[in-house]
Amino acid sequence: MSAAELAGLAALRRAARDSVSGLPRAFWWLWTSTLVNRLGAFVATFMALYLTLDRGYSASYAGLVASLHGLGGVVSSLGAGVMTDRLGRRPTLLIAQTSTALSVALLGFMHHPVAIAAVAFLVGMASNASRPAVQAMMADIVRPEDRVRAFSLNYWAINLGFAVSSMGAGFIAEFSYLAGFLVEAAMTLVCAVVVFVKLPESKPERTAAQRAEEPEAGLGTVLRDSRFMGVVGLSFLIALIFQQGSVGLPVAMGEAGFTPADYGMAIAVNGVLIVALQIPVTRFIEHRDPQQLLVVSSLVAGYGFGLTAFAGSVGVFALTVCVWTLAEIVNAPTQTGLVVRLSPVHGRGRYQGMYTMSWSVAGLAAPLMSGFVIDRFGAEWLWGSCAVIGTVAAVGYWWLMRGLPAWDEDAAEAPSPTAGKPEVSAA
């Protein structure tokens, strides 16, 4: 091996070490729980195929069940946020993951269409309930200056787990759909065991003086926080754009004469790029101005999808996926870090719940938007709409984030997440 190759290998090792160093052990146990959870994902990926191919139901019924699953997530977002603040992060995670495991296993044994729809709604509620608790706990245990990196690593684990589970679930489905439901239930229980054994409660304790000076943050407090609710609205717009990769793009490619395999090849670029680039890109952006990052990523997302209007081959479709995936890589950890910065410590669960709900609502609205626009006006108008929405979001981020201090200043002035309580460890 040449000297240049050795130097390059050493630089790569140093970059990898810098990307993961300095984070507490509790974060890595939480990260492990996230990865295991996503490795076992099955229901959301193969629900439509299970209902249409295995159970023989219509596509319309499969769409209804998918909508009820998403509606369950919308309903549980705010409730889980309140639980995270009142009961604590750890109890909320244990309740959510145990409930998910039980409801997923139950869904595999349901046969009546009403029972399937009802349990799918429960699965949506339970599986979505852990998100506010995970994000609040991560904010509790990671130093402010490391949060963008931590959220990025967590997002990387989500996408890595999803990529692996999608391939594995395909093989499991050929053998038995029921086995897939039971595998997901078992792996979700493993997540609960990891939380129970390795993760202590991280909710910061408030003194009597702090409680007197700063009352409990209720949902009304969140709704009256105009800057934060503006960010929630903008996150809905961004989510509406990114959702088109899974709802608008396959429909548009199908109407243009492309096969499901063609869509699979194009969209696979998304997962590959996130797994390959999420960590190095985060190292590049973690100390840069979040306002600029969110403005640029919103524009790139909107116009990345906008370019799809000019795609005429699988290669060009894949190229457009590359463009908006880069926006996703930058936007996801930056936006999550912004939500934490705008959330009071004693109200992180409720604030994260409201933020999570914006993505859940977008998951319901995006299929309606894409179906209506494509049927009424054509796919080109959908992609043009994405460009307009991305522009609106970029202007919104620029407007809302005026006057916020730089992240480095914020980190320097913020108290340690473990200040006033024992250091959180994995012991």
Q: Given this model, what pLDDT does residue 281 score?
A: 87
* CATH at residue 55: 1.20.1250.20
212 belongs to a structural domain: no
Q: Specify whether 179 is located in the same domain as 255.
A: no
Which among 203, 233, 261 is the end of a domain? Answer: 203
CA distance 330 to 319: 18
Q: Specify whether 246 is located in the same domain as 332.
A: yes
Query: Could you report the per-residue pLDDT of 166-210, keeping only the tens digit for each?
Result: 667 667 777 788 888 898 899 999 999 999 999 998 888 765 555
Q: Given this model, what pLDDT does residue 52 score?
A: 77
Q: Given this model, what pLDDT does residue 416 score?
A: 36
Q: What single-letter amino acid sits at 344?
A: P
Q: Specify whether 68 is located in the same domain as 91.
A: yes
Q: Specify whether 317 is located in the same domain as 392.
A: yes
Q: What single-letter amino acid sits at 407?
A: W
Q: Given this model, what pLDDT does residue 424 score?
A: 33
Query: Could you report the per-residue pLDDT of 67-106, keeping only the tens digit for each?
Result: 888 888 888 888 888 889 888 999 999 999 999 999 999 9
Q: Which residues form the domain of 316? A: 218-414
420 belongs to a structural domain: no
CA distance 265 to 283: 28
Q: Specify whether 170 is located in the same domain as 228.
A: no
The mean pLDDT of 139-150, rounded to a whole number, is 86
41 belongs to a structural domain: yes
Q: Specify whether 258 is located in the same domain as 150.
A: no
Q: Given this model, what pLDDT does residue 360 score?
A: 85
Task: Return the SS3 of 427.
Answer: coil
Which among 178, 203, 228 is the end of a domain? Answer: 203
∠ at Cα 65 (33, 271), nearest 5°? 45
Q: Specify whether 195 is located in the same domain as 293.
A: no
pLDDT band at 385 (very low <50, low <70, confident <90, very high): very high
At 266, phi and psi to the nearest 5?
Answer: -70, -45
In the structure encoding, which two tokens stand for residue 57, read together?
């139901």
Residues 383-398 as b or e (16 or more Cβ within 10 Å = b): bbbbbebbeebbebbe
CA distance 61 to 417: 47
12 belongs to a structural domain: no
Contact (Cβ atoms closer than 8 angstroms) between residue 26 and residue 427: no
Q: Specify whether 28 is located in the same domain as 149.
A: yes
Report if pTM > 0.75: yes
16 belongs to a structural domain: no
The mean pLDDT of 31-52, rounded to a whole number, is 79
Which one, of 388, 383, 390, 239, lies nearest residue 311 by Cα? Answer: 383
Which among 203, 233, 260 is the end of a domain? Answer: 203
Average pLDDT, the chain: 82
347 belongs to a structural domain: yes
Q: Given this model, what pLDDT does residue 272 score?
A: 85
Q: Specify whether 112 is located in the same domain as 258.
A: no
Q: Specify whether 55 is located in the same domain as 148.
A: yes
Which one, of 155, 128, 125, 75, lies nearest residue 336 by Cα? Answer: 155
Q: How many domains does the chain have?
A: 2
10 belongs to a structural domain: no
Q: Given this model, what pLDDT does residue 119 score?
A: 93
Q: Specify whether 255 is located in the same domain as 199.
A: no
Interacting residues of 366 by C-beta distance below 8 A, sequence separation 6+? 239, 240, 243, 244, 247, 248
Q: Given this model, what pLDDT does residue 131 score?
A: 87
Distance of CA 89 to the CA centre of its chain: 18
Q: Given this model, what pLDDT does residue 93 score?
A: 93
Q: Specify whether 183 is located in the same domain as 285.
A: no
- The larger pLDDT score, comparing residue 319 to residue 144, is at 319
17 belongs to a structural domain: no
CA distance 209 to 245: 49
Q: What single-letter amino acid sits at 75?
A: V
The answer, yes or no, to whether residue 303 has pLDDT greater than 90, is yes
Rounded to 10 deg, the angle between the 59-86 and 113-128 helix axes is 30
